[in-house]
Structure 1
Amino acid sequence: MLIKTNTESCLLLAICEELQGLDSQITQNIEKKLMNLDPSHSGIIHQSELTYLLLKQKIPLKLTSLSCIFKSFSDTNNPEKVHYKELLEFIQRATDGHKHHLDEAEIWDLESVTYNDSITENQKDSWLQRFQKMEMAMQMYDIKNTGYIDRDQAKRLLHNYSLIFNLNLSPLKINEVTRYSQQEGKVNLVSALQQLKEL
């Protein structure tokens, strides 16, 4: 499964700067972890599992960029799953492409890169800003834009993102909110997130 060349070129240009300084070893580590989660070697995996690993490994991609990449590499028969090998190869090409452009231009301002990386690493977002990042991440799993996702999936994602974004959401509150915001086993995202925000 490959994305079209023109779409690929646009995405490469869009995420090239975001992936500046990414160690190629990280994508290799992620692929090994994903292969363990894919014992049947199908080559596809659920977006939630891949998102969790990418965020845990601190891949510096904006959630909007990640959403576009997921759509480009989504499985035709199951849009909630992505072809992870091709996706990671794409990220690797974007990383290598950025380094190649740096080499051609002979830009070796490593001190500046280190300084920028330090600012990014140490920047402290407010709780609300971190919560908004979680909201954006959660919306990515509403593939059909129904406003609902499965309750079990919602609980798992909220627990994971609470840890990733350091939100300190109470597991008890997450269970309560997903229970009261659900209908026929599916959680209303807007309602659930609003309730958690107001706690």
Structure 2
Amino acid sequence: MDNSDSAPRLTRRSVLESGVAAAAVLGFAGRAQAATPPAATPPALAAEPATPRMPVTLRVNGQARPLEIDPRTTLLDALRERIGLTGSKKGCDHGQCGACTVLVNGRRINACLTLAVMHEGDEIKTIEGLADGDHLHPLQAAFVKHDGFQCGYCTPGQICSAAGMLDEAKAGWPSTVTKDLTETVALTDAEIRERMSGNICRCAAYPNIVAAIRDAGGPATRL
């Protein structure tokens, strides 16, 4: 049986009537939504109390530097951001590259891994404090002589680390490649590379760095 005659016919008039009806419904819904008052804004969360500042006096390159700092401030950030000694570089900020190496009481450390407030009264030496006025430190002069740098970003950490390393060798600290602790050993390439392995040079100037340290290291050291 053919029911095509009974099916509603889609005419231009029916389409226009449907559109007008839909617009009226949507307009009413929009006016109703606009009339609804907005939900109450939740009260603002109470601001967290500021971390109290701590007084600390850092003795850097022979000069006392009194500071008021957040106790979470690293020694590196205190040196760079608060004191303005930007020679120590922030490389990885995870103690993996050695660019931030400074000397604390004669020992080389990664300044990014220690808090400034831990070093009250310590003697801190940065790359800015190695030279004696206009006279370069022997390691600085050796790095220039042997072209032990390219971009120079890692150089302050390399030099500070080398200064600490040479003192460690003179004090009798062996490395993992030292074969005989009873013999007088020279700072061979293998010794220098092992002892400086915590300092990365992304320019790969290692041969010249080793040559500079060997030159500045002087005669053989008794371990």
Higher relative contact order (CA 8 A, sep 6+): 1
With normalisation by structure 1, the TM-score equals 0.30
Higher helix share: 1
Larger Rg: 2
With normalisation by structure 2, the TM-score equals 0.27
Higher strand share: 2
